[in-house]
Amino acid sequence: MACLPCAMHLALLPRRRTWVQTAAVSAAMLVAHPVLLDGAGHHGAAHTGGAVVGVAMVVVPASVLVLALSGLGLEVVRHARATAG
């Protein structure tokens, strides 16, 4: 659910701020998910094959983090080219 607002903003009007927010949320999820899995479980991990869910809870935010940082890099390059001339 945390991805939906960023995804909407990135689809409609991608800006540097949105790329940074997406990267920050992804990094926070990478930190939080292992902690939550050690506790009472998260997103039904105990009921739906905990290993698969556990891997997905690391792979998906990591992938989004890489994409967000790539998008941010492209936005910075685009802005630099636009202001250079």
Q: What ranges do the domains of the chain cover?
A: 3-84
pTM: 0.65
Nearest CA to 29 out of 7, 58, 69 is that of: 58
* Span 28-77, pLDDT tens digits: 888 887 777 665 555 554 555 667 777 777 788 888 888 888 988 988 89
Which pLDDT score is estimated for 38?
66
Which pLDDT score is estimated for 37?
66
* Span 71-85, pLDDT tens digits: 889 888 988 999 986
Q: Comparing 76 with 10, which gets the higher pLDDT? A: 76
